[in-house]
Amino acid sequence: MNYLWAAGTHQGRLRSNNEDAYAPEASGRGPGPVTVMVADGMGGHAGGEVASRLAVDTALMVEGTPAERVTKANKVVIEAALREPGLAGMGTTLTLAELGPDDTIRLAHVGDSRAYLLRDGDFEMVTDDHTVVAEHVAAGRLSTQDALTHPQRSMLTRVLGLSPEVEVDEIEIDVKEGDRLLICSDGLTNMVPEDRIAATLGKASPEEAVWTLIEQANRAGGHDNITVVVVQVIT
């Protein structure tokens, strides 16, 4: 099996800078191994941009399982914040997928940048949001519908840069021809309904899907930075 991948970002219509980071920057095609990822940074001054960039660059550079690479990225973000007082308090999400030559995608995930799988018309979120609101929904205290507009929907319970002991979720997917994997920052998922994302993803090439989804988020208001990675499994 081969993978076809594309990625893109846009700062949106309200933010003056882009604190998201992603990899790889160029689209491509091949059997893997290839690593794709999205990081959504936060923190005052330049902190958010530095944290997401550092996390992506570190995870690209180091060896190990996806979870080990995310753990290493966490350490590097923490160390940078300790060295530079202006960066204190910076943090970032990181959702990483290793596209394996053994027809397996291995994900490692911290935060609320989501991964979705589109297979045979079914669109399913494969990551859990590490947010206060998602925990309320899981515990039955809040409906999925109310969660969409909850004022604290971006408040994270897990993030890189906060604690040396970060728990990393690991997810493994055995891929089939035609599968599409989406990884995106919340600038997409807070602006565009899931059924619309699924429809776009299902009928476009990865490259077209990336830029159409970014345009849809901007048309809906573009309240945040928008970053999208799309992978399609082909023969």
Query: Under the rule (CB under 5 A), what is the footprint of Mg ion?
Result: 40, 185-187, 224
Which is nearest to 232 in space by CA: 213, 204, 211, 212? Answer: 204
- For the record, the structure tokens of 52 come out as 């997401």
Name the residue nearer to Mg ion (CB basis): 66 or 187.
187
Name the residue nearer to Mg ion (CB basis): 81 or 156.
156
Closest distance of CB 145 from Mg ion, Å: 21
Task: Give the contacts of 33 (CB within 8 A, at least 6 positions apart).
Answer: 98, 99, 100, 101
Name the residue nearer to Mg ion (CB basis): 32 or 187.
187
Which is nearest to 5 in space by CA: 26, 24, 28? Answer: 28
Residue 224 gets the label, from left (phi > 0), alpha (psi -120 to 50) or beta, of: beta
Name the residue nearer to Mg ion (CB basis): 127 or 232.
127
Task: Say if residues 2 and 12 touch (Cβ distance below 8 Å).
Answer: no
Name the residue nearer to Mg ion (CB basis): 16 or 235.
16
Closest distance of CB 46 from Mg ion, Å: 16
Query: What separation, in Å, do the N-terminal and C-terminal C-alpha atoms of the chain show?
Result: 5
Enter the DSSP assignment of 156. Answer: B
Name the residue nearer to Mg ion (CB basis): 10 or 106.
10
CB atoms within 10 A of CB 203: 10
User: How far apart are alpha carbons 187 and 214 in whole angstroms?
Assistant: 9
Closest distance of CB 76 from Mg ion, Å: 21
Closest distance of CB 195 from Mg ion, Å: 21
- For the record, the structure tokens of 68 come out as 């080990």
Closest distance of CB 91 from Mg ion, Å: 12
Closest distance of CB 176 from Mg ion, Å: 31
Closest distance of CB 186 from Mg ion, Å: 4
CB atoms within 10 A of CB 34: 18
Name the residue nearer to Mg ion (CB basis): 98 or 112.
112
- For the record, the structure tokens of 203 come out as 């009928």
